[in-house]
Amino acid sequence: MRFDEYRQHDGLGLASLVRKREVSARELVALAIDRMNAVNPALNAIVTRMDEQAAARAASDLSGPFAGVPFVLKDIMQAHAGVRTCMGSAALRQHVPQAHEEMTRRWLAAGVVPVGVSNASEFGLKPQTESRLWGAVHNPWRPGLSAGGSSGGSAAAVAAGMVPMAGGNDIGGSIRLPAALCGLFGFKPGRGRTPWSSTHAEIAQGAAVQHVLTRSVRDSAAMLDATCAPFGRAAFHVAPPARSYSAEVERSPGRLRVGFSRLSPLGMPVDADCTAAVDQCARLLAGLGHDVQELTPPLAWADLYEDVMIMMYTTAAAMVREVRMTTGCKADAFESDTRLMAAVGRMYAAVELLASQARWAEYLQGWQAFRSQCDVWLTPVVTQAALPLGAFRTPGWQTLMAHVCLKIGLGRAMLRSDGVRQSLLEVLNYVAFTTPVNLMGLPAMSVPLYQSADGLPLAVQLVGGVGEEGLLFNLAAQLELAQPWFGRVPMRTDQLP
């Protein structure tokens, strides 16, 4: 098999060829390794290679729906026994786990062959992938631009043709954002649908979830079928689906009521390409027979975004505390922004955190009321279409001033200051449409239907109700058939610097 033939297939397609003995798992792994050798030096998507482990596994007797298919694990909560896993942090650069994480076990049971571990931002806290430990991931569509985050390494690996699918996780958009910027399908399951971790406690009340980034809808559905079984240690349990997600891909969604929003609930700018992507999808949905109208959920948006920040700050504080307790490392082992977020997170009293999390249920109640008007919500994924690397890098002077304010007890005053508030709002506006979905525990997907005038991919987000992953797969398959994206791929190997 040649690389151009390899790239013509999704994961299920490659697995079918392996079952029919038209290609071997060893050949597929060799193609994946050759592609990594060719393009990863320019992209920095893969930070730990698994060539030997992959070759040994490919030579073994594999079973499952994806038997023999090359795969990439993310460097966060997807540990593989005996393979370095750092959570994107220099504090864990020497960490080699002795056991598989639960999601890794389930992916291995599905038959995939991990060939590497992908780059990620430190603890997955940022919407771009530019860690101090690993450096920046370049977007395969245009090196120098961000691939998004925190699953940017996985997205770049799939978009560049190294593998047909890769692991991701999502606490505020970390599957959907990179998928949108790299032209992939990114599905975020609802709260509790997939296991978070077999070694770490659930974080952020189940707002963080695990799944994959893929090129096809059916790969995502089949992989969710393989990983969504109940997990005894999970803090959140959901009813099993009525039918397999692979079966849902074959079903019509019927006539749906689709509400769409083009404007940021924060009242801040949204790029013209981002709104154009929504308009294009709205027209496509209307042409497919759906009832489409402009609607925005009547939520307490100002409170919701404040609670998003509390979630991220306190998550950073918890992660830093856990790593320091287990490794004994010093504070300077972490990136300055991570230390700053953790310091802010420690300002919140337990009663403030509990009050914040109690409001999450109120937002969900508001969403449920909104569902009386529509079945699916259509929005942009991001509010800025093409960000250069370093766009959200905090200036050194601002970080220094923030740490001084925190040290002398002026942390809350600092957060209310105009300069800091504006910087926070700019980052928050970038993820204004994805983060609320995590708080409410809803399933959502990034669907790569749009391409800008200068050839860059962009996606829309479609959000369903609690437990409605199946409905989203119905709709995704319909959109994929109506406006295929599988054949849109970035530059050739010889065009990469």
- Sign of the Cα pseudo-torsion (85, 182, 127, 197, in order): negative
Residue 206 near residue 236, CB atoms below 8 Å: yes
Q: Three-state DSSP class for 484?
A: coil
Reference 461, options 450, 473, 447; nearest CA is: 447
DSSP element (H, E) containing 47: strand 46-49
- DSSP letters along 6-21, please? HTT--HHHHHHHHHTT
- Nearest-angstrom CA–CA distance, 119 and 401: 30
Residue with tokens 């689709």: 258
Residue 261 main-chain phi, psi, to 5 deg: -125, 135
- Nearest-angstrom CA–CA distance, 95 and 437: 32
| 395: DSSP letter | P
Residue 423 main-chain phi, psi, to 5 deg: -65, -45
Residue with tokens 């449920």: 368
Reference 36, options 27, 48, 24; nearest CA is: 48
Residue 121 main-chain phi, psi, to 5 deg: -70, 160
Q: How buried is 407 (Cβ within 10 angstroms: 0-12 exposed, 13-18 middle, 19+ buried)?
A: exposed
What token pair was written down for 353? Answer: 């955190």
Q: Are strands 130-131 and 135-136 parallel, antiparallel or unpaired?
A: antiparallel
- Nearest-angstrom CA–CA distance, 165 and 81: 20
What is the separation of C-alpha 333 from the centre of its chain, rounded to a whole number of angstroms? Answer: 25
Catalytic residues: 74, 150, 174
Residue 86 main-chain phi, psi, to 5 deg: -115, -5
